[in-house]
Structure 1
Amino acid sequence: MDFEDLAGFQPDRQIGAVDGVVLIPPRVEPLHGLFPEPDEYHEYMGKTYVNPLQALRMVLDVQQFPKPFKIVIVNGLSSVCALPHYGAANTMRLAWVGHSKSIALTLADQGVRINTLSLGAVRTDSYIHKLQRKAEKNQRTYEEQVDHRNRQCSEWQVLNA
């Protein structure tokens, strides 16, 4: 269900016997630079954190959820090597991890269990197309671009270990 669909969502009627929720915040293009412009950052936070968080809140506002009630948040907008152009994405990942810990501590006695999962780069069609565009821009083959990305990540990890 997209966030826009939530206007008419009535969790007390539509959840029924659901015993868990998988929340997948939207994947958006990463913001560039360490300090994005405030309006860009606010829009990014709204799409990837605030709006999905409100959707989760709507579900959790229903006090009669089954026990245990499981929540998984799949936030694949980060990079394991924390590259500078993933600054905002890594901030969102940490926001989800932090908020999930708060939810877990607060709602554990009500049977709520929560986990977060950050997949990073997943070879979806959109990611493959993104790498193909980068390869063309950099005058590389797709394979050379993938190899370059992997080397870049490895070098960054070694330099910053």
Structure 2
Amino acid sequence: MPNTLITCATSHIGLSVAENIVVDGKLVLTGRDQDKLNKLCKSLSSKATSVHLDFFDSQSIQQASETIASEGQIDKVVFIIPRIPPKSEVFSTEEELISDHLNFFIKPLQLFRLLFEADAISDSAKIVIVSGLSTKSALSHYATNNTIRSAWLGQAKTMSLALGERRIAVNTLSLGAVMTDSYRARLKQRAVLNGVTPDEQLATEVDNIAMKKYAEVGDVVDAILSLTGPMAKHITGQNILMDGGFFRGY
């Protein structure tokens, strides 16, 4: 029976994917907050297993990989990494660079390594790494995102080439702004600072987006479900940009 793994499942996007994905087998959900995970698992109609996973902790990653592998081979992976905080400094200190790359790339990547070493990913599996707009368009106030998300893009391409013979599809879904609960809250804060209504603030922000809107969480869920389904039978190594037409390059 096909099993599905969703990391950072208690995030708004992860939770929405878990609520909407159709699974015949087990749904394996990971996150740092065990109470939230347990509550989520109980609320779902699908059979779900919660696995504590702190991507900043190597021991937690090792333990989580063993638990996930014990549930049987995974056929679909929705790999959401922790949110990378904005940082505009062009030259971070050595300590900051090491810490950021460890927490947001090197350590999370170890989960993939450990799962493949344990033969926990099935042939013909569909893997979607949920990334961000800076994989395609460099952003001035997101220096850390520019470099780390580019590393994920290179890793996904490498995995797609190495795993293609096993018919494993590896793609990235790079998101622009998404109207999650936390983003709506920040939008309201910016509106207050600018002395306008939230709708007026939103209209100003999306003026340079072709579709004149940000993505809703449901839009992202639909894209993820497509990339873990039949659409990815012959699509791999691709960086799918979901930004409403913000990026203007060819």
TM-score, normalisation: structure 2: 0.54
Partner of 2:61: 6
Partner of 1:111: 167
Equivalent position SS for 1:58: helix
Equivalent position SS for 1:101: helix
Task: Answer 1 or 2: higher relative contact order, Cα 8 Å, separation at least 6.
Answer: 1
Q: Find runs of 4+ consecutive structure 1 residues off by over 4 angstroms.
A: none
Larger % of strand: which? 2
Larger % of helix: which? 1
Structure 1 residue 79 displacement after superposition: 8.3
Ranges in structure 2 where 5+ consecutive residues have no aligned partner: 1-29, 31-52, 211-245
**Structure 1 residues 6-15 or 50-59, which shifts more?**
6-15
2:198 to 142, 145, 148: 142
Do structure 1's residue 57 and structure 2's residue 85 form an aligned pair? no
Provide the rounded CA distance (Å) in 2 between the counterparts of 1:94 and 1:20: 23
Equivalent position SS for 1:93: helix
Partner of 2:72: 16
Do structure 1's residue 151 and structure 2's residue 207 form an aligned pair? yes
Matches within 5 A, 1:65-84: 65-76=121-132, 78=134, 82-84=138-140
Instruction: Describe the shift of the 1:91–1:123 C-alpha distance in structure 2 as closer, same or farther (beyond 3 A).
Output: same
Equivalent position SS for 2:199: helix
8 Å contact 1:80–1:120 — kept in the other structure? no
Deviations 1:114-155 (A, max 9, x none): 01111221100011111222222333322232223223668x
Ranges in structure 1 where 5+ consecutive residues have no aligned partner: none
RMSD (CA atoms): 3.0
Instruction: Describe the shift of the 1:141–1:41 C-alpha distance in structure 2 as closer, same or farther (beyond 3 A).
Output: farther
